[in-house]
Amino acid sequence: MKNNNQKVIKKLSQRTMKQSRMRNFFAVAAICLTTLLFTAVFSMGFGMMQMIQEQTMREVGGKFHAGLKGVTMEQYEKISKDAEVASSSYNILLGQADNLKKRQAEIRMPGSLEEIEGAFVNLEEGTYPKQETDVVMDTITLKELKINPRIGATVHLEYTFMGEKIQDDFTLCGWYQGDEISHASQVYISEAYWNQVKGNYTETDFQKNYENTGNIQGLVNGNLYFKNSKNIEDKVVAAIEHAGYTPESDADNKESESPVIRYGVNWAYMSSRAESLDMETVVLFVAAFFVILISGYLIIYNIFQLSILREIRFYGLLKTIGTTKKQLQKLVYRQVWKLCGVGIPIGAVLGYLGGQFLVPILAKGGTYAGESGFYFNFWILIFGGVFSLATVMISCRKPAKIAGNVSPIEAVRYTEGTLKRKRSKKSKKGAKIARMAFSNLGRNKKKTVLVILSISLSVILLEIVMTAVGSFRIDEYLEERIYGDYMIGNANWTVAAPRELDFRIDEAYAQGADTWQGVSGKSELWTLNSEHILSEKGQKQFQKLDKEGKLEEGLYYKARAEDREKMGRGELALDERRYAYSEDMLENLKPVKGEIDAEKFRSGKYVLLEQMTFLENAEVGDSCYEPGDKIILQTPTKDTEQEMVYDENQELIGTFLTNLEKKEYEVMAVVENIPTSMNIHFFSTNSITTILPLEEIKQSPEATMFAKSYTVEPEFAESFEAYLKDYTEEENPSMGYLSKNSVREEFSGMIEGVSAVGYGLCVVIAIIGILNFANSMLTGILARKQELAVMQSIGMTKEQIRTMLLWESGYYLGISGIISVIVGSIGASFLVGALNDVIMCFAYRYTAVPFFLMLPVFALVAAAISLIAYGQTQKKSVVERMRETQ
């Protein structure tokens, strides 16, 4: 039999809400915080992905999906007409500006306006090059040339084109802000100037030059934009094949006479990078999201369950007058929808604003250098709201079911913990206050578990975040980046993107630093380029590494299969990069095989080997030699020359050095990869790296001191740095320097950014935990008003009841504390420890600070809430409370 009482249900829902203002406040706050949490996470996640993607694009040099390297105009046009290509652009490289030492400046002729805009070039003033001598440059290159960014300024550039040195004066027609994160600045010239320089050269001439030298001058660099960023490499390979050419990646596997096209994929695009995520990373992301999801679920579920149980008599009485199960559930859901209507919009807006606030902090602390900042995305608000609404509805499903299923008799007789609860055994130990409080925890086990989880989860999460932040090792970072307080060197060594292999240091520069007041220590770093022929044992090990896929493969010299086979037979020399350091620096080399004996090493009979640089299958200690092996090193002399080797078609196939001096050494140890502060930042394909004593390497006239390290007394540090700055900016701009303070600030800024986001999430989780705990305690105590009144009526004093409630809070806190310490410590060890080999300068370091920080806060909240709730129950007399029904 159906009834028509929808209006009554609606009115009951509204009036019930008006009577439950405290519940409404907690529920709205819970929904708001949960939505804030989801939206903030989506906002920060999207914002950081967006900024990392744009930052990487700036580093790569463009927004394009894929690039064609050194192709002809015909090849570019055929490939760019593929159906999957939405648009394309191109540029032609003339060369690099030789009169710019600290910044690599590439002189290019853009094929269109889209090409310039795709490289993040937005003119601050002026126009794009049209006249023959027009040029567009950035503020970084103009500053090095000491030219103010002013339209009409004369710019002198020197560059080498097809082996010929060229000097020309240009007129600045436009300028843009330089981007330090980009490895090179782009200097744009006009098509008219390109045609004048090109002269009678043809694309065939440019192709031969490319094949012989690897220089792509005069050839087209094509940039392709597909309809979307999914499966970029598959799309560019298909486009090349559809045009009738062979992609570089398939050149070794396919026998084809068609031209081989070299291409690159813009790895900035997150969708492409996401496709290659390993399972461990995916699991970590899913686990992090699950923690956030369960946090929101717990608080909402707990609030509504306690609310339903508190009003259980009311729902039972409604059933006695004919209200159905479905109508009671509708009554509950009506309230939920109204509370969501208030909480979700507020939480979504606050979460979005919070994400916008935290993302720039993280960006500022990191290395992001983009100008566009954080873009608004409507989907962030949608996702945050939808996930929050779904969480609320899932959380309320069971409380609504309880309200619908309760029988009138059960409801009227209900006190906390009586629904579907077995009768507990009588205690033989008496009714001591502490024991009574402990037994009360078992009356409603679900509530107890939820409260304990609410407290524990926030503490555990804070422990994991603080452990992760505290595990970054600034000492290792400094050791990796700089030795001593200051390091000086050629700008080709100190800048992020060196433009040539000239590492010579100005003697006057080094002499001035050597004699500066306050210098308490100095060390030298030397290098030498040579060749190495593998011994029989070395050949076997090289062949083994090749079979295991640990060597670099490709179409380039010494990466090709035939070249690797020759090196493995001793018919072709490996490139050898040789280093030597002042003896105090040897402590920065960490042996993975053998031991470093400084005294024996000083004798000049031993050599150290760096483990080889591999691709994906690297293993610690991989090397062509083991400690104790005898090897012969070849050292260039004053008569050494480089000779070219050509094939029958007069194409360059390799080079070798002549008149090398040979000497036998014993391998003392194989060491880990040399720190960045101790190498020249250049690596040859399938090469070998050796370290000799300083006096040994100095015997070669070809050896170069590429850097020098200084330790300076604190009171003289400022004047010493002022000297370095003045010399590198005014006296000789081709020199540079690094300081420990700047490296430390760089590292600290990065950690501060990571901390801001991590702690921001922890604060939200902590607030949710505190709010959940407070609500659970408050509503639980208020729901027991009659029970407490009965206790008072049979002789319990107010002080005893207050003490019992404080004991209950203490038990909640104690159990939560034990769980937090155990699970938090183990979880941090497992999760954070897994990052040891993933993040540079990171090593798990345990911290107990979160436990000492959060547990006292919860203790204060527990005591305050217990006393406040108790005070609320005492506003009416014992008789009034015993008579009270809902």
CA angle 797, 799, 801 (to 5 degrees): 75
Q: What is the CA radius of gyration of the chain?
A: 36
Kindly tell me if the per-residue pLDDT of 861 is higher than 70: yes
Closest CA to 70 of 556, 534, 415, 467: 556
Closest CA to 459 of 760, 823, 812: 823
Q: What is the DSSP letter of 842?
A: B
Q: What is the pLDDT of residue 368?
A: 46
Report, as an integer, the average pLDDT of 97-117: 89
Q: What is the pLDDT of residue 840?
A: 62
Residue given tokens 């990373």 in the structure block: 281
Residue given tokens 């993607």 in the structure block: 53
**How many CB atoms are closer than 10 A to CB 180?**
12
Give the start-to-end residue ranges of the domains of the chain. Answer: 1-62+285-414, 65-265, 427-476+742-886, 528-694
Kindly tell me if the per-residue pLDDT of 576 is higher than 90: yes
Please say whether the dihedral angle defined by the alpha carbons of residues 203, 208, 211 and 217, taken in this order, is positive or negative. negative
Report, as an integer, the average pLDDT of 693-717: 93
pLDDT in tens, 143-170: 989 899 999 999 999 999 998 999 999 9
Residue given tokens 């009034």 in the structure block: 880
Report, as an integer, the average pLDDT of 485-511: 84
Kindly tell me if the per-residue pLDDT of 370 is higher than 60: no
In 674-776 the beta strands, taken as DSSP E runs, fall at 688-691, 704-712, 735-739
Contact 224, 64 (CB under 8 A): yes
Report, as an integer, the average pLDDT of 226-249: 88
State the Cα–Cα distance between residues 445 and 451, nearest whole angstrom.
Answer: 10
Q: How confident is the model at residue 367 (pLDDT cuts 50, 70, 90)?
A: very low
Kindly tell me if the per-residue pLDDT of 307 is higher than 90: no
Residue given tokens 């002789």 in the structure block: 795
Report, as an integer, the average pLDDT of 447-462: 78
Choose the most confident range, by mean pLDDT, from 307-316, 487-496, 610-619, 700-709.
Answer: 700-709
pLDDT in tens, 189-219: 999 999 999 999 999 999 888 877 778 899 9
**How many CB atoms are closer than 10 A to CB 141?**
23
Contact 417, 444 (CB under 8 A): yes
pLDDT in tens, 801-823: 888 888 888 888 889 889 989 98
11: its two tokens: 């009115």
Kindly tell me if the per-residue pLDDT of 1 is higher than 50: no
Query: Per residue, what are the HEC states of 620-661?
Result: CCCCCCCCCCEEEEEEECCCCCEEEEECCCCCEEEEEECCEE
Distances (CA, A) of 14 to 340, 622, 885: 14, 73, 20
What are the backbone angles phi and psi of residue 561, rounded to the nearest 5°? -60, -45
Q: What is the pLDDT of residue 745?
A: 78
Kindly tell me if the per-residue pLDDT of 423 is higher than 50: no
Contact 457, 770 (CB under 8 A): no
Which has the higher per-residue pLDDT, 517 or 400? Answer: 517
State the Cα–Cα distance between residues 228 and 557, nearest whole angstrom.
Answer: 35
Kindly tell me if the per-residue pLDDT of 577 is higher than 90: yes
Cβ neighbourhood burial of 872 (10 Å; 0-12, 13-18, 19+): middle
Contact 118, 63 (CB under 8 A): yes
Report, as an integer, the average pLDDT of 107-123: 91
Q: How confident is the model at residue 421 (pLDDT cuts 50, 70, 90)?
A: very low
State the Cα–Cα distance between residues 33 and 224, nearest whole angstrom.
Answer: 44
State the Cα–Cα distance between residues 201 and 197, nearest whole angstrom.
Answer: 9
Residue type, 506: D
Distances (CA, A) of 211 to 39, 205, 607, 629, 684: 53, 10, 36, 38, 18
Closest CA to 634 of 703, 532, 537: 532
Kindly tell me if the per-residue pLDDT of 101 is higher than 70: yes
- In percent, how much of the chain has pLDDT > 90? 33
Contact 736, 348 (CB under 8 A): no
Q: What is the DSSP letter of 327?
A: H
**How many CB atoms are closer than 10 A to CB 122?**
10
Closest CA to 299 of 422, 403, 453, 95: 453
Angle between helices 325-365 and 21-60 (to 10 degrees): 40
pTM for this model (two decimals) = 0.62
**How many CB atoms are closer than 10 A to CB 698?**
15
Lowest mean pLDDT among 265-269, 408-412, 518-522, 711-715: 408-412
Kindly tell me if the per-residue pLDDT of 116 is higher than 70: yes
Kindly tell me if the per-residue pLDDT of 658 is higher than 70: yes
Q: What is the pLDDT of residue 366?
A: 47
**How many CB atoms are closer than 10 A to CB 738?**
22
Cβ neighbourhood burial of 454 (10 Å; 0-12, 13-18, 19+): buried
Residue given tokens 């300081």 in the structure block: 739
35: its two tokens: 């939505």
Please say whether the dihedral angle defined by the alpha carbons of residues 871, 877, 880 and 883, taken in this order, is positive or negative. positive
Q: What is the pLDDT of residue 371?
A: 46
Q: What is the pLDDT of residue 505?
A: 93
Sorted by sequence, the CB contacts under 8 Å of residue 693 that are 6+ apart come out as 580, 601, 602, 603, 604
3-state secondary structure of 158: strand
Distances (CA, A) of 112 to 109, 129, 221, 747: 9, 11, 13, 40
Report, as an integer, the average pLDDT of 311-318: 68
Kindly tell me if the per-residue pLDDT of 226 is higher than 50: yes
Closest CA to 513 of 355, 330, 726: 726
Closest CA to 433 of 797, 51, 874: 797
Question: Torsion-angle region of residue 645: left (phi > 0), alpha (psi -120 to 50) or beta?
Answer: beta
Q: What is the pLDDT of residue 409?
A: 61
Lowest mean pLDDT among 336-340, 417-421, 734-738, 850-854: 417-421
CA angle 208, 210, 211 (to 5 degrees): 65
Q: How confident is the model at residue 313 (pLDDT cuts 50, 70, 90)?
A: low
Longest CA–CA span in the chain (Å) reads: 112
Residue type, 733: P
**How many CB atoms are closer than 10 A to CB 381?**
20
Can you give the length of the chain in residues? 886
- In percent, how much of the chain has pLDDT > 70? 76
State the Cα–Cα distance between residues 577 and 570, nearest whole angstrom.
Answer: 18
State the Cα–Cα distance between residues 698 and 524, nearest whole angstrom.
Answer: 11
State the Cα–Cα distance between residues 70 and 216, nearest whole angstrom.
Answer: 5
Kindly tell me if the per-residue pLDDT of 250 is higher than 70: no
Distances (CA, A) of 309 to 99, 296, 780, 878: 80, 20, 9, 22
Contact 178, 123 (CB under 8 A): no
3-state secondary structure of 841: coil
What are the backbone angles phi and psi of residue 552, rounded to the nearest 5°? -75, 135
Strand partners, 527: 579, 704
Report, as an integer, the average pLDDT of 264-290: 61
Which has the higher per-residue pLDDT, 105 or 502? Answer: 105
Kindly tell me if the per-residue pLDDT of 538 is higher than 50: yes
Kindly tell me if the per-residue pLDDT of 282 is higher than 60: no
State the Cα–Cα distance between residues 527 and 171, nearest whole angstrom.
Answer: 41
CA angle 250, 256, 259 (to 5 degrees): 80
Q: How confident is the model at residue 15 (pLDDT cuts 50, 70, 90)?
A: low
Alpha carbon 104 to chain centroid distance? 26
Contact 53, 368 (CB under 8 A): no
Report, as an integer, the average pLDDT of 605-617: 82
Contact 458, 854 (CB under 8 A): yes
Kindly tell me if the per-residue pLDDT of 126 is higher than 70: yes
What are the backbone angles phi and psi of residue 71, rounded to the nearest 5°? -110, 170
